[in-house]
Amino acid sequence: MKAIAYYSGKIETRNRECFVGNQKVDCPQSNKAFTSTGDKLDLLPQMPSLERRSDPIFFIILLAIIIFFSVLAISRIKVFGKTLEEYIKPIWYLILISIVAVAWQYLFGLKIDDGLMSIRISQWVWEFCIAVSAYKLIKTADFGYGNLFFLGILYSLIIHGSKLAIRYLFYEKTFLYLADRFLYGSLLVVAIVFVLGSIFLFLRRRGILRF
């Protein structure tokens, strides 16, 4: 029979070894993949080609995203019938709250020893902002399914793009870990926007929910 040990505290991985504080403990058995530095992967398998860092590649991608949205804003190109301003203007304060919640996680939340409850609360804050954004845009801007999809992408780049930049610049994570976390987080964002937005649209079209 295998012995089962209980450890009081958060188990952290360092170079494929597990620690609670500075005490080395047995790693929990899992089928999850890990990076070469011991970071757990939720979606992607181990991919040695992405186990790297490159400032030029990172900043080129970042610059391309900034240029893309700048062109959308300046030229007023419509995405699913709406300009970027029509997506952002009605919910700018919710986007700001989401960014503040992400910043708080890294500046203060990670330093609080409360079993990650502070981190969960800050995550609930930006999840709530996403849900309210979908509701508000359906109500005020007559959004459809395509608009909801783009809103999910927009929020993914804002929230998890910010987290990605922090992890790369301050925590020295590799592209593999960054890609895994961005995909995982973006799927969560798109699911919240699309599922709740679809419910709001269905209720409105059936006349059950009047805005």
20 strand-pairing partners: 11, 23
CA neighbor of 158 nearest in space, from 98, 81, 208: 98
List the single range of 81-85, 102-106, 111-115 with lowest mean pLDDT: 111-115
Pairwise CA distance, residues 196 & 132, whole Å? 9
CA neighbor of 102 nearest in space, from 151, 152, 153, 161: 161
Q: What is the pLDDT of residue 206?
A: 75
Tens digits of residue pLDDT in 50-91? 999 999 999 999 999 999 999 999 999 999 999 999 999 999
**Helical H runs in the chain?**
55-75, 84-88, 92-107, 117-141, 145-171, 175-205
Pairwise CA distance, residues 34 & 99, whole Å? 28
Tens digits of residue pLDDT in 114-132? 777 888 899 999 999 999 9
Q: What is the pLDDT of residue 6?
A: 38
Q: What is the pLDDT of residue 5?
A: 39
